[in-house]
Chain A
Amino acid sequence: MAASEIAQRKQLLAVESLTKVFGTLKANDGVDFDIDEGEIHALLGENGAGKSTLVKMLFGTLQPDGGQILWRGNPQIITKPSFARQLGIGMVFQHFSLFDSLSVAENIALSLDAATPLSKVSAEAERVADKYGLSINAEAMVGDLSVGERQRVEIIRCLLQQPDLIILDEPTSVLTPQESERLFETLELLRREGKSILYISHKLDEVKRLCDRATVLRHGKVVGHCIPSEETPSSLAAMMVGENIHTIRKVADEAAGARETVFSVNKLSQPPTGPFSTALKDITFDVPAGEVFGIAGVAGNGQFELFEALSGERLQKDASMILLRGEAIGNKTINERRMAGAAFSPEERFGHAAVATLSLADNVLLSRHASDAKAYLSGGLLRIAKPSALKSTLARIVKTMDVRKSGDNPDAGTLSGGNLQKLILGREFDRQPSLLIVDQPTWGVDAGAAARIRQSLIDLSKSGSAVVVISQDLDELLEMCDRIAVMSEGEMSEPQQASTVTRETLGLLMGGANAGQAA
């Protein structure tokens, strides 16, 4: 018995002093760790700590410059992903590797044997999806899916290959608590089946709840191995960040009820904007000055459409559907709304909030050329940009938000996700807007930067602005918000007081129950 017990827990994968160098940056520097069969192993680290690089080497999309990878005790050179799959390594990427113009089933078929007929792929995918509680329409075009839905496709695709080792990069960021719970059950089921899982997450309590062992990376080096169940979330975070994370200060505000309404949305309805887009139905809410208003919900329930309607990227015929300090702005463009005092921060950082191949100063100009035309443009109708003014604003943002970057004014694409998010929000804070609408403020951002971002959003509201936060992370909303409403299939629930509402109530509202049922 003892012998078989040991045989069951034998080592599946080991990594020995793995090193990867990009130019002068050591992305991975002598990384060591190992995973046993039937183990859920956590990989913890801030953005830019080298987790993605490490994982890419395990999956064969990058080649190490030194060290070796042992699979079942044998050294292997994993030259390409197909070889990794052949070994039995499956991967769910953080940045999805899906083709927008293909359907879900076609995307899945791409990673399977060429001989599998598409109809069989659809059926298989839906079966696996049901089993693991990841509802998905196999015929839908990936381009029309939300971020959350895309991630589900990635997870299903990976599970279909029946790998021995599954690498999951931030898998729960877009799931409801109930769905996360189902995913954990799935992962535990897989563990009982003897499969191994490499689990990358910033959610420390998840790691603590789920993982057998953890490896912590900082600046490309392993700073420690630990057993998460013996640690506290804050001791894990301290290992990861290398400093104690400060906790959010939320001062009770007695005058909240008496404050003037800054922003109100009245019966906002909008038909679907594409074949797989969600219609908005009768959305109504008010946000007074000094309040952080949270909008929860699972991805793809109309949050994206709501953001577009509120930002003015999509206009409404009836101007009075959206009021900013009493002024009807429903038919105003995004820049007219900015000039009226609003600021916006969308979910996607690259390609929406910022352009990766433009410099940071140009990215400041991107959202502020109209609202701060006097500061950044000269020459009258010629509208000549003033690089010096932009650079001094950039320096100010970098200083207040602690944005870490290389060089004076690098391309936005060189920043890590967390630092870019700090810059994007800092760009709007710097204007002192009377209304800020932010979608997924801390998606994929490490714990240290996330805490800072949440604190700065609260600080903005305390200075008298209205803040609307759209997020799929309930912990975040409960931590920051005064009131929380839930989006489900394009409808919005009654706002709930964050101080009294339970996670179960919110979870039920996300699932489509109405407030009466939920309470």
Chain B
Amino acid sequence: MALQPQDKVFPLLLLLCALTSILVVILVGVFVFLQGYPMLAKTGFFAFLLGRSWQPGEGVYGILPMVVGTVVVTLLSLLIGVPLGIATAIFLAELAPDRVAAWTRRSIELLAGIPSVVYGLFGMVTIVPMVRYIASNWFGAWLSPEMKTGYGILAASLVLAIMILPTIVNISEDALRAVPREYKEGSFALGVPHWQTIVHVLLPAARSGIIAGVVLGMGRAIGETMAILMVAGNAPALPRSIFSPVRTMSGNIGLEMGYASGSHAQALFATGIVLFLVIMLLNGFALLFTGRRAVRTP
């Protein structure tokens, strides 16, 4: 049968669509690097990364406080979110009756769909006052005034822990379900109780998938901007306790890009470069563990 013209034209159009994502990634890389590079070249990459002072008015740009802020908030949110997420994944994959599992999964899906500004608002009105209460009433004697506002590391980590739950639950559940049935049956046949089987057979077998889920949750936590801006207090200073207000790297960009110009804008783009590199490293790491698609649709 002779090929009709549309059989040649359409595949070409479709190929162009498919190439769009390559184009976008290249453009994102090129434009962010072009804008941020002059700042890195001028101050030096490590001087920029490890500079303790961020004073755009004085032309002093160091993002160490933001790097530390990002790391601390991310780790604390993982500390809270990962156990809860993995436990929920075990529940869904092993313990829940079908109906209950379906409803739980549905709630987690909703949790993933809630806009981050809504999380931020919830944080401002519910979590921040809670943290403020704890800070002033339980630890009041040890804390300086700016640590008693409620806005800070702890509030941001609690909000973030909730936000990364869906990622961790979904990927861990998939990993647990991907363990071959024979492992479980073999363990049962040896008379090992269900819980022992979960801990000693299923979890180790699903380890790499679960780690990938945690790493992706971490990626989400590092990239999150809005919710953190609303609850973290945003002071560009090194934190001294988990009640201290902090600013994250993404928060730094979101907060100041609106009015920045000149070298200030360059410094924010340079912050973007650091963020970009960190995420790429993390995704490479997740890819190593799964050997398949790194990032999943939320």
Q: Do A and B come from one complex?
A: no
Query: Which residues in A have some Cβ–Cβ distance to B below 8 Å?
Result: none
